[in-house]
Structure 1
Amino acid sequence: MDIIAAQLEDIDQVMLIIEQAKQIMRANGNQTQWINGYPSREIIAADIRNQDAFVCLVNTEIVGYFCLIIGSDPEPNYKVIEEGAWLNNSPYGVIHRLASSGTVKGIARKAFDFAFSQINTVRVDTNHDNIPMQKFLRNSGFTYCGIIYVSDGSPRDAFQKIIAD
């Protein structure tokens, strides 16, 4: 599996992957994440324009998508965390909108491996009902840090992992 920067011409395929990921979430009991048109075509296009969008390829087929933002404080919703604390205040990467077509295993692992090849601290949040993602994060060495709130005011479980330099 290869990871490459997404291009605007990939957007139709990325939106299909997102719809497939929503179906997987619903089948696993997660009825409240990625609702009301989120993530929209406009959000994905902005990810691509900002050069934060990546696709996972098997041969030439797009089988996964994620947004990776890196910076000193790339996620404004992470400024306030309740019922816990972040592990550190170092610059970090954040993965958003991780989506798999469901046709290939290992999309999340590859996305996070890619993130850690770019920066040694990654933060991520997920819906409390997204049990498969929470299990993946815990099994991958992420630490539960508390609760953050996304822009619509809904809570998310927040995780962080730091790897040695």
Structure 2
Amino acid sequence: MKFITASYEHIDRMCEITADAKRQLKNLGLDQWQQGYPSREVWLQDIEDKCAYLAVEEGEIKGIFAFQTTPDPSYKVIDGAWLTDGEYASMHRVCVASGCKGKGVAGKMFEKGFGMAREAGFPSVRIDTHPGNLPMQRALGKAGFTACGRIHLVGGCEDGHLRIAFEKVL
């Protein structure tokens, strides 16, 4: 599996994968990603910011994630405690294409994010997910993330929504 920085030519497939993920979350009875996020506009901004990455195998996009190196306002206040203080990288909008789940794609994307964070000198990677998103929580645990507490999202259409915050020390 190789990883490439997403470009505008990938946006339609990125949106298809995201729409599938939204349907799967809805089928789990979750409100996560059911209010318009992540949208085409969010992915376009990620492409412009060069922070959207694609997991590609045999010419097919198997997964997408955003990798960010600026502080996330949602992570400023936590009911719990982060494992590290100071700078961190974060991963967001992690999606695996339908038909590719359970094949290690998410784990490979996390490993790529860990490598990018190490290369940039960050001591850890943070991420969050819905309390009811058990498939993602299992994937995070398998990748070595530790649940650190609860946060509330800041900004956007999911402002105030509760999430479980995770961190992986590199």
TM-score (norm 1): 0.91
Q: Distance in 1 between matches of 2:104 and 2:131?
A: 22
Q: How does 1:128-143 map to 2 (within 5 A)?
A: 128-143=131-146
In structure 1, runs of 5+ residues without a counterpart are none
4+ residue segments displaced more than 4 Å: none
Q: Distance in 2 between matches of 1:117 and 1:141?
A: 14
C-alpha displacement at 1:23, in angstroms?
2.4
C-alpha displacement at 1:62, in angstroms?
1.2
Please tell me the root mean square deviation across aligned C-alpha atoms, in Å. 1.3
> What is the letter of the counterpart of residue 3 of structure 1?
F
Q: Is the 8 A contact 1:122 1:160 kept in 2?
A: yes
Q: Distance in 1 between matches of 2:55 and 2:95?
A: 10
TM-score (norm 2): 0.88
C-alpha displacement at 1:90, in angstroms?
3.5
Q: Is the 8 A contact 1:93 1:122 kept in 2?
A: yes
C-alpha displacement at 1:30, in angstroms?
4.3
C-alpha displacement at 1:96, in angstroms?
0.5
Q: Does 1:14 align with 2:14?
A: yes
Equivalent in the alignment of 1:153: 160
In structure 2, runs of 5+ residues without a counterpart are 119-123
C-alpha displacement at 1:137, in angstroms?
1.4
Equivalent in the alignment of 1:61: 60
Q: Is the 8 A contact 1:67 1:97 kept in 2?
A: yes
Equivalent in the alignment of 1:25: 25
Q: Distance in 1 between matches of 2:32 and 2:147?
A: 19
Please list the CA deviations of residues 98-143 of structure 1 after superposition, one character each: whole Å capped at 9, or x if unmatched.
1111222222111110111112411000001100111121232211
Q: How many pairs does the alignment contain?
A: 159
Q: Higher mean Cα deviation, 17-26 or 149-158?
A: 17-26
Equivalent in the alignment of 1:126: 129
Equivalent in the alignment of 2:42: 43
Equivalent in the alignment of 1:96: 92
Aligned-partner SS, 2:166? strand
> What is the letter of the counterpart of residue 140 of structure 1?
A
Q: Distance in 2 between matches of 1:56 and 1:118?
A: 14
Aligned-partner SS, 1:119? helix
